[in-house]
Amino acid sequence: MEQNIHTRITESSIRTEEIPSLLNRPEHGAQIFFFGVVRNRNLGRAVITVSYDAFIPLVEVTFKQICEDANLKWGPGLQLVLIHRIGQLAIGEVSVAIGVGAVHRNEAFQASRFIIENIKSRAPIWKKEFYEDGETEWLDGHALCGHTSETLSEELS
């Protein structure tokens, strides 16, 4: 399963044009791409830049678990790409990129949605916004709870 999963956390710009080449299975009839992009407003405040902090070793473990969970739920045989940016990002830059290759569109769409929602609730990554008025704020988020693949397996059984 591992060779069908490509995960990365990077301080460099995400080259989205390279992602389709990572999904290259002839039996797959669907490819879905999701890009999270830094926007210029949040909760009515003008945002000028954002910064991502991460506990990288655990992010790497968690990304692989999320992808394996997606494959367990909508596979087998999904091909998955998950790349997250850290450090300072400008408005319009891609913060997260997800690619899913699957036999049919339904599992590709659902696995893509599953992966982004699980990144938001399980990956130890934090976003700080910098506002036009000079203030900054760490965004409220999801409390971690030690979700494991085993608990997902139990939920599915």
Partner 1 sequence: MANLFRIKGVVKMSQIRVRMFGAFRNLVSEGVLQVEVPEKLTVVGLKILLGEKLSTLPSSFDVTRLLSNSVLANESRILPNLEEIHNEMTLALLPPVSGG
Q: Interface with partner 1 by CB under 8 A: which residues?
A: 36, 52-55, 57-58, 61, 84, 95-96, 116, 119-128, 138-146
The distance of closest approach from Cβ of residue 76 to partner 1 in the complex, given in angstroms and rounded to an integer, is: 25
The distance of closest approach from Cβ of residue 121 to partner 1 in the complex, given in angstroms and rounded to an integer, is: 7
| 112 burial via Cβ count (<10 Å: 0-12, 13-18, 19+) | buried
Between residues 71 and 95, which has the closer beta carbon with respect to partner 1?
Answer: 95
Between residues 145 and 156, which has the closer beta carbon with respect to partner 1?
Answer: 145
The first and second tokens of residue 5, run together, are: 């999963």
- State how far the Cα of 52 lies from the Cα of 87, in Å rounded to an integer: 5
Q: Which of 40, 50, 51, 48 shows the shortest CA–CA distance to 132?
A: 48
The distance of closest approach from Cβ of residue 122 to partner 1 in the complex, given in angstroms and rounded to an integer, is: 7
Between residues 28 and 64, which has the closer beta carbon with respect to partner 1?
Answer: 64
The distance of closest approach from Cβ of residue 26 to partner 1 in the complex, given in angstroms and rounded to an integer, is: 31
- State how far the Cα of 59 lies from the Cα of 37, in Å rounded to an integer: 19
